[in-house]
Amino acid sequence: MVPTWQLRAAFARRLSDMYGTEVPAYTTLLEVAGQVNDEVAARDPDAGRFGSIARVTAERHGAIRVGTPEELRQAAQIFAALGMHPVGFYDLRDGDEGAVPVVSTAFRPTDPDELDRNPFRVFTSLLTTSDRRFFDAGLESRLDAFLARRQLFPPELLALAERAEEQAGLPESEAERFLALAVAAFELSPEPVDRAWYTELERVSAVAADIGGVAATHINHLTPRVLDIDALYRRMEERGITMIDRIQGPPRWAGPDVLLRQTSFRALAEPRKFREPDGSVTGGSLRVRFGEVEARGIALTRAGRARYDGLMAETDRLTGLRPDTDRQEVARSLWQRGFPGTEHQLAVEHQAFFTYRPVTGRPRDGRRPPADLTGLLTHGWLTAHPIVYEDFLPRSAAGIFRSNLTEDGTRDTELAGTPFDAHRLSEAIGRPVLDPFGLYAEQQDRSLRQALFTLGACAA
Ligand code: OOG
Ligand code: NI
């Protein structure tokens, strides 16, 4: 029997191999990311603080885009077979950094041990065809009809996925078949693209065309994790690969790494066949996929996240007032003044999530542990270990989508959008969309309860 986590690890590996053959710049990216990680591991004794080097080196996130709730349910079934569950709700339809007609979630393992075994995650977006700001009623119904005719995932794949979920794994030969079908479902299809239909959708949004203009889905990007994203950025530019103009997320600064920093580059145009209005098939190219890389830090609590969002807004405001200033510099100085500068501070101010462990082998001086977290940490009763942020940032995600678009598309901002929230997305998927803050808090609280119990028992 091949257990769930091995299916997940094997799927991530095979998808990565497949994507490397489709997008050669991805292989360059992996090479540079690997070098940077080795260098950081060699120079920094703390390099494993946010996950073992083995985990980080194997770590990837993918992005896919689907057109209908049914396709989303089927994708969810495949991910469930891999031990990946929907976490977080992202609405990218009205970001200031450019709007895209999708709502999204991320499928990922939720159990800390499962994350350690293999943290593969897939950012998954659903086209919102009923959103009138993007699609009028006529286009909506033609789009829905087109999507209803296609089948992204073969029934055999879905049946195997169901079995894998039920049995928490698959026998060897079925596992092999499942993995082969699953990887194939995300390959770029050689089928000709209907030129007129694709172009019509592209006028609304390049993302709509990428999702609803073709008969199959494909992996949009696959993102490795790197321990020093600034070093990686420089090195990719030295290799002649033009990166987007900045690293998204928090600035590089003297304090702890928090949340997520990401950057990307546009991949080359890929050859695709087109069916022309007269029925002939011609050669052409599309430029819809790209490379992305990320660095991960500590998960923030709701309070920490609010502070983060406030600092980002303030950075925008100040750079808006003085466009000639360096955004990184502005952000850095705001952070220096406005954000806790140490992990200890983040912990005692409840701004970030940690797992707590009791310090064993303290001198037995008869003292009882203090009742508050600050006391427990400052007097050496507990140690705090950061919990890594396993999710995404809506603003960076919008930026990633946008960096990929040749044109902004058209959106009628006078009209109201279709209301959408985590609850409605849960109904569309047929599985609960979990709250990331809840997952981190649960992990933290469990460790704290256990640590306090051990300390109490020792002191008694
Ligand atoms: C997904 C964009 C979001 C990220 O890393 O924030 C994303 C997409 O382009 O389909 O992958
Ligand atoms: Ni991404």
Q: Is the pLDDT of residue 309 over 80?
A: yes
Which residue, by CA, sits nearest to atom 7 of ligand 1? 397
Ligand 1, atom nearest to 392 Cα: 6
Question: What is the phi/psi pair of residue 128, to 5°?
Answer: -100, 85
Most confident of 122-136, 154-168, 280-294: 154-168
Can you give the pLDDT at residue 353? 98
Question: Average pLDDT in the 166-178 region?
Answer: 97
pLDDT of 70: 96
State the Cα–Cα distance between residues 264 and 224, nearest whole angstrom: 11
Which residues is 2 bridged to in the sheet?
A: 170
Quick one: which atom of ligand 1 is closest to the CA of 396? 6
Ligand 1: residue whose CA is nearest its atom 10: 63
Query: What per-residue confidence (pLDDT) applies to 200?
Result: 94
| Cβ 440 under 6 angstroms from ligand 1 | no
Closest ligand relative to 88 C-alpha: 1
Structural domain contains residue 6: yes
Tell me which residue range forms the domain holding 279: 2-299+387-429
User: What's the gap in Å between 220 CA and the centre of ligand 2?
Assistant: 9
- Ligand 1 contact via 28 beta carbon (within 6 Å): no
Ligand nearest to the CA of 217: 1
Ligand 1 centroid–CA 365 distance in Å is 54
Query: What is the mean pLDDT of the segment spanning 46-57?
Result: 88
- Which ligand is closest in space to the CA of residue 63? 1
Contacts from 449-454 at CB under 8 Å and sequence distance 24+? 451/356, 451/357, 451/358, 451/382, 452/358, 452/369, 454/358
What pLDDT does residue 323 have? 82
User: Quick check: is 122 in a domain?
Assistant: yes
Give residue 46's identity as a one-letter amino acid code. Answer: D
In this predicted structure, what is the pLDDT of residue 243?
82
Q: Is the dihedral of CA 85, 398, 297, 223 positive or negative?
A: positive
Q: State which amino acid sits at residue 214.
A: V
The whole-number pLDDT of residue 241 equals: 82
The per-residue pLDDT for 406 is: 59
Specify whether the CB–CB gap between 219 and 67 falls below 8 A.
Answer: no
Cβ atoms < 10 Å from Cβ of 251: 22
Ligand at shortest distance from the CA of 64: 1
Distance 290 CA to ligand 1 centre (A): 10
**Closest ligand, as measured to the CA of 222:** 2
Mutate to test the pocket of ligand 1, among 100, 127, 400, 404 (most ligand atoms within 8 A of CB): 400
Three-class secondary structure assignment of the chain: CEEHHHHHHHHHHHHHHHHHHHCHHHHHHHHHHHHHHHHHHHHCCCHHHHCCHHHHHHCEEEEEEECCHHHHHHHHHHHHHCCCEEEEEEECCCCCCCCCCEEEEEEECCCHHHHHHCCCEEEEEEECCCCCCCCCHHHHHHHHHHHHHCCCCCHHHHHHHHHHHHHCEECHHHHHHHHHHHHHHCCCCCCCEEHHHHHHHHHHCHHHHHHHCCCCCCCCEEEEECCCHHHHHHHHHHCCCCECCCCECCCCCCCCCECEEEEEEECCCEEEEEECCCCCEEEEEECCCEEEEEEECECECHHHHHHHHHHHHHHHHHHHHCCCCCHHHHHHHHHHHHCCCCHHHHHHCCCECEEEEECCCCCCCCCCCCCCHHHHHHCCCEEEEECECCCCCHHHHHHHHHHCCCCCCCCCCCCCCCCCCHHHHHHHHCCCCECHHHHHHHHHHHHHHHHHHHHHHHHC
Within a domain: residue 317?
A: no
Report the atom number in ligand 1 closest to the C-alpha of 64.
Answer: 10
Residue 289 Cβ contacting ligand 1 at under 6 Å = no
CB 396 near ligand 1, within 6 Å: yes
How confident is the model over 97-140, as pLDDT tens digits?
568 899 999 999 999 999 999 999 999 999 999 988 889 999 99
- Residue 63 near ligand 1, beta carbon < 6 Å: yes
Could you read off the pLDDT of 398-429 as tens digits, one per residue?
Answer: 877 776 665 556 667 666 777 788 999 999 99
Please write the tens of the pLDDT for every residue from 343-368: 999 999 999 999 999 997 776 677 78
Q: Is 124 in the pocket of ligand 1 (CB under 6 A)?
A: no
- The pLDDT value given to residue 30: 94
In a domain, 315, yes or no: no
- Categorize the per-residue pLDDT at 52 as very low, low, confident or very high, splitting at 50, 70 and 90: confident
- Find the range with the poorest average confidence among 147-156, 252-261, 332-341, 369-378: 369-378
pLDDT > 70 fraction of the chain, expressed in percent and rounded: 95
* Residue 403 CA, ligand 2 centroid: distance in Å: 11
User: What CATH code is carried by the domain that includes residue 424?
Assistant: 3.10.180.80
Q: Of the ranges 143-157, 281-295, 433-447, which one carries the lowest mean pLDDT score? A: 281-295
pLDDT at site 441: 98
Tell me how far apart the alpha carbons of residues 223 and 122 are, in angstroms, rounded to a whole number. 10
At position 231, the amino acid (one-letter code) is A
**Residue 151 domain-assigned (yes or no):** yes
Closest atom of ligand 1 to CA, residue 294: 5
Task: Report if residue 333 sits inside a domain.
Answer: no
Q: What is the mean pLDDT of residues 145-159?
A: 97
Residue found by looking up tokens 């007097």 in the block: 379
pLDDT exceeds cutoff 70 at 218: yes
Q: What does the alpha-carbon distance between residue 223 and residue 236 come to, in Å, rounded to a whole number?
A: 14
| 374 occurs within a structural domain | no
Measuring from atom 5 of ligand 1, which residue has the nearest CA? 397
Work out the mean pLDDT of the chain and round it to a whole number: 91
Residue at 457 is within a domain:
no
As for how many domains the chain has, the answer is: 1
pLDDT tens track for 10-46 = 999 999 999 999 888 899 899 999 999 999 999 988 8
Of ligand 1's atoms, which has the minimum distance to the CA of residue 123?
A: 11
